[in-house]
């Protein structure tokens, strides 16, 4: 089987997108539309839960929004003026339907549906404690830990129970929660994953990205602040900030790759920042060449920025087919190796005899970069230089992004020379961490706490990593025990 985007297989994958609406009879239809715009944040599964004042209704399925939520009967069954939805790419938990969100539970206070973007870095520890105290888990998702913490909290009101639960978790969470008392949106105190609020007439909307507001015809109101809970009950909206204030550390990779280029994050256009990163890259690592070629699609804005700053012409040297379905069953072993060309093919007439600069947004394992460089050489390129619009990804992410173990990351195994050899390029360069911050209008200073989470480049994680630390301890103990034996 070939996935839709062979070039995207070797990327960090954002794990989820969330979307919630309160205050319109077409809530579920709007959620479906919003999730469609967030499809790039998770393509494995999708779900919508609605509330009609008496009952909760849920439809969850594997696959894309289109194909699952484009049938009238599915949307019509999701009645009510409040609805929330989720697109997913598994970070923790397996790919079974039981892990597809929104997760739902009947608590003492009534129904409780939750959609979560992010990942809890102490979920395994909390889960063990909850199971010891008698909790019975229905899924393997880290999000279910929040439900059990709410269910077992000693506080009286549902809101206080939720706050109590959130004070026990660590890591990244942007949540949309639905209860009979209303909708609650919240973002972890560091604001690692994005969450914005918008309006469509009298309806209030929460979404992972502004692009989802655009497609619904909603207006952007503001970002949900790190550490803020916004409670919507009918027409009443309240904001509370129950956590100790701390400096935010939003994920810098949202600007590099995750968010759609037509989204605005923290008042900055993703597209403009990506072009600026390309310009920084050109300033830091120029090379004589004939063409600047983007690796489609995510490398396009940075390649435009690189070309404009360097004066080297921008050309489409790799053409993407838009007619390859979600998966394609390979007709036989003989043609299996041709799979990558089904989706992307070199523009041979343009490339032959030229010195080309390929611009990509990131390198994870390096396997795709190797294929693309090879593709350029087979098309007759005289020289192939790869420029990458992010620093080397040398550390795993534990905040809701699918990353290989550290040992699988190209930059964790090789220095620049080794990476260049691995991908068979004539030269390879990454934008520096300073250059990346500069593109965001910031300065990275060693003596000041960074403004963003940049841990996958620097290893400087903004939270404790309880589960990681504990599993490292277990491994160490097992190694010692093995030596003693
Ligand atoms: Fe984003 Fe990297 Fe931090 Fe994960 S580790 S939240 S991908 S910057």
CATH at 418? 3.40.50.2020
Burial 311-322 (b: 16+ CB within 10 A, else e): ebebbebbeeee
pLDDT tier for residue 328 given thresholds of 50, 70 and 90: very low
Instruction: Give tens-digit pLDDT for 363-376.
Output: 999 998 999 999 99
More confident residue, 340 or 277: 277
Residue whose CA lies nearest to ligand 1 atom number 4: 397
| Beta pairing, strands 383-388 & 355-360 | parallel
Out of 250, 284, 304, a domain closes at 250
Same domain, 289 and 243: no
pLDDT tier for residue 482 given thresholds of 50, 70 and 90: low
Closest CA to 287 of 433, 421, 431, 426: 426
Q: Which atom of ligand 1 is nearest to the CA of 254?
A: 1
In-domain check, residue 179: yes
Same domain, 98 and 197: yes
In-domain check, residue 266: no
Res 329: pLDDT = 45
Using CB distances shorter than 6 Å, the residues near ligand 1 are 12, 192, 251-253, 397, 399, 401, 453-456
Q: How far is the centre of ligand 1, averaged over its atoms, from the C-alpha of 472 (Å)? A: 20
Same domain, 182 and 291: no
CATH at 202? 3.60.20.10
Q: Distance between CA 201 and CA 367 in Å, rounded?
A: 48
Same domain, 142 and 31: yes
In-domain check, residue 484: no
Tell me whether residue 16 is one of the annotated catalytic residues.
yes
Instruction: Give tens-digit pLDDT for 411-423.
Output: 999 999 999 999 9
Q: Which atom of ligand 1 is nearest to the CA of 393?
A: 2
Give the mean model confidence (pLDDT) for residues 270-281. Answer: 98
pLDDT tier for residue 327 given thresholds of 50, 70 and 90: very low
Res 92: pLDDT = 56
> Which domain covers residue 396, as residue numbers?
272-452
The structural domain count of the chain equals 2
CB contact at 8 A, 100 and 46: yes
| Beta pairing, strands 13-14 & 196-200 | unpaired
| Beta pairing, strands 203-207 & 16-22 | antiparallel
Res 14: pLDDT = 63
Burial 155-188 (b: 16+ CB within 10 A, else e): eeebbebbbbbbeebbbbbbbbbbbeebbbbbbb
Same domain, 225 and 353: no
Same domain, 245 and 390: no
Beta-bridge partner residues of 207:
19, 196
In-domain check, residue 465: no
Helices (H), 80-177: 123-132, 143-152, 158-166
Same domain, 246 and 306: no
Same domain, 343 and 432: yes
Same domain, 55 and 196: yes
Q: How far is the centre of ligand 1, averaged over its atoms, from the C-alpha of 1 (Å)? A: 29
Same domain, 218 and 285: no
The mean pLDDT value of the chain amounts to 91
Same domain, 299 and 381: yes
Same domain, 298 and 179: no
Res 93: pLDDT = 58
pLDDT tier for residue 321 given thresholds of 50, 70 and 90: confident
- pLDDT of 472 over the 80 cut: no
């Amino acid at each position: 089987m070939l996935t839709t985007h062979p070039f995207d297989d070797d990327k960090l994958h954002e794990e989820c997108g969330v979307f919630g609406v309160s205050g319109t009879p077409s809530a579920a239809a709007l959620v479906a539309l919003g999730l469609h715009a967030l499809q790039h944040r998770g393509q494995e599964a999708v779900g919508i839960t609605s509330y009609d004042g008496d009952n909760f209704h849920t439809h969850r399925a594997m696959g894309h929004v289109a194909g699952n939520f484009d049938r009238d009967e599915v949307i019509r069954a999701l009645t009510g003026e409040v609805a929330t939805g989720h697109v997913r790419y598994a970070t923790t938990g397996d790919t079974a339907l039981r892990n597809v969100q929104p997760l739902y539970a009947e608590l003492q206070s009534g129904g409780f549906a939750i959609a979560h973007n992010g990942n809890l870095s102490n979920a395994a520890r909390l889960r063990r404690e909850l199971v010891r105290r008698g909790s019975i888990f229905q899924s393997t998702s880290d999000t279910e830990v929040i439900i059990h913490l709410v269910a077992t909290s000693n506080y009286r009101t549902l809101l206080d129970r939720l706050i109590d639960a959130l004070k026990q978790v660590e890591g990244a969470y942007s949540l949309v929660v639905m209860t009979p008392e209303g909708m609650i949106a919240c973002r972890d105190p560091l604001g690692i994953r994005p969450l914005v609020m918008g309006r469509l007439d009298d309806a209030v909307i929460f979404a992972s990205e502004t692009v989802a507001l655009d497609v619904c015809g909603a207006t952007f109101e503001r970002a949900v602040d790190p550490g803020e809970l916004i409670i919507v009950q009918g027409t009443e909206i309240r904001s509370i900030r129950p956590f100790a204030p701390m400096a935010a550390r939003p994920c810098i990779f949202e600007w590099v790759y995750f968010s759609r280029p037509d989204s605005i994050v923290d008042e900055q256009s993703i597209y403009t920042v990506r072009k600026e990163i390309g310009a920084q890259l050109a300033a830091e690592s120029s090379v004589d060449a004939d063409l600047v070629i983007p690796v489609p699609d995510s490398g396009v804005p940075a390649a435009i920025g690189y070309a404009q700053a360097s004066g080297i012409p921008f050309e489409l040297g790799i053409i993407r087919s838009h007619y390859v379905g979600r998966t394609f069953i390979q007709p036989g072993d003989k043609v299996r190796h041709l799979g990558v060309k089904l989706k992307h093919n070199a523009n041979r007439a343009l490339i032959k005899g030229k010195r080309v600069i390929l611009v990509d947004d990131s390198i994870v394992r390096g396997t795709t970069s190797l294929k693309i460089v090879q593709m350029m050489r087979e098309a007759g390129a005289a020289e192939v230089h790869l420029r990458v619009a992010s620093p080397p990804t040398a550390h795993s992410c534990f905040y809701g992004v699918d990353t290989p173990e550290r040992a699988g990351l190209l930059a964790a195994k090789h220095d620049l020379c080794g990476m260049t050899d691995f991908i068979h390029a004539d030269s390879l360069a990454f934008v520096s961490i300073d250059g990346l911050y500069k593109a965001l209008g910031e300065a990275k200073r060693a003596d000041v706490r960074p403004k963003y989470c940049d841990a996958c480049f620097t290893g400087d994680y903004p939270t404790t990593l309880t589960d990681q630390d504990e599993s490292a301890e277990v491994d160490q103990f097992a190694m010692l025990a093995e030596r003693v034996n």
